[in-house]
Structure 1
């Protein structure tokens, strides 16, 4: 897959600054559409890995806190520390056992403790030095605990048929890489990368939610394109009319496409009893 213009270097901007600003109206709703599309899959995996009573959990890039609240309410974990660079959405929806921490995972001093579960979804794909950050997150896993990473995998933009949707997705990936450094090209390597810091029992899976009119994932992509419009236009691959056509395509019965998938990889830290 090609997530950037040929020879292009990742941009130096940051997620949540030039694009996807939390102070922009509707951003929490966009995040929640993503949660509606993926939370059931995330929760099924976390519970299958044993998340439950007695577990302390760290949720990196927690967004609006949907995973943390479900870990507490459905899995019955002991506590969740929800971390984000901006915690306004988390603080707006408090829950017993859910603590929030405004912090940057890329800060060399980031060390909030050790946890049976360390979870990061749609975070590393937006950050440089992913290999180093995977090692950092692995250090936060208690012996016997598990690190779970989920990020997007692009299934259509390189060889997909020419449709308004594939044009928009290609422009989105290239535009976001050039502006804020988003890069999904290394996501399929996550299982291998989890072995680097010494994790065991590494495995992975991919989920692709169906694109149907009015679905949460379709509304998520439409909102994402609207918020990243300038980055998409900067690629020269699409114009305003093309983005609008892609949104209409998602909302129509003519839509026949694959969404980007979510790859989830996990690995256990040797020792202890959590795994």
Structure 2
């Protein structure tokens, strides 16, 4: 689920096209790391058997599968601009909606749980969309948001890894509008929408050479090489050094993490 940048680009079009042969593998590498965190939180919040849930930005369907298999839901609505990753799912409780979250004509009904992970950070209208998602909650329903937060090493401003990661964020913002600067404010956004029991947590999973998170970032950086050089202003030698570092036993970084925030509609 993606939105345009100032230059009109979209996630899935300007970058990270879903038809790329490695795209599903790249997404699933991140899911392998973050799904246990996500599903642990959702398990604690789902009101009980019979819940109606909305998964925004369903991707390859890992969270959708968990909701169907583990959460005793009545219905899961999976919303995304590209829903090809859900073609193999045939559960009668699943409703797949191929649409843009920003489409004002969307009428999906009310939900006991609304979850969006790594979605709003790519949408310039994220603050308005938090309001929209909150309005889709049934009384007692939970809104759960998860997006990326980076905690860079303040003592490192010049290594190949740091320069490449900084270039990545610049290129993402310029190309497809990605912006994580207000992610730490998500708990305040939920509070300001009138939600109760608001809380948040930041999880930075281990970044280990050969592990799924290192594979995710390596594939991401490799796929972004032209944008890193043209927009991010790093040359190919720096990118190569950063990729080698991510695969090296010398790797010693606190990688980008995920902030989750949640709140309940009274």
- TM-score tier by shorter-chain length is over 0.9
TM-score (structure 1 length as normaliser): 0.90
Q: In 1, distance between residues paired with 2:153 and 2:174? A: 16
Deviations 1:217-264 (A, max 9, x none): 111111111222222112353112222221111111000111111000
| Of 138, 144, 149, the match for 2:134 | 138
| Of 207, 213, 216, the match for 1:217 | 213
1:190-269 map, 5 Å: 190-269=186-265
Given that residues 56 and 114 in structure 2 are in contact (C-alpha distance below 8 angstroms), is that contact kept between their aligned partners in structure 1? yes
Q: In 1, distance between residues paired with 2:6 and 2:254? A: 25
What is aligned with 2:94?
Answer: 98
1:8-47 map, 5 Å: 10-47=6-43
**What's the Cα RMSD here?**
1.7
1:177-188 map, 5 Å: 177-188=173-184
TM-score (structure 2 length as normaliser): 0.93
Distance 1:108 1:211, change over 3 A: same
Q: In 2, distance between residues paired with 1:223 and 1:96? A: 35
Aligned length: 262
Tell me, which stretches of 5 or more residues in structure 1 are unaligned?
Answer: 1-8, 271-275
Which segment is superposed worse, 94-103 or 165-174?
94-103
Given that residues 64 and 78 in structure 2 are in contact (C-alpha distance below 8 angstroms), is that contact kept between their aligned partners in structure 1? yes
What is aligned with 1:170?
Answer: 166
Deviations 1:11-41 (A, max 9, x none): 4311111101111111111110110010000
Find runs of 4+ consecutive structure 1 residues off by over 6 angstroms.
Answer: none
| 3-state SS of paired residue (1:183) | coil
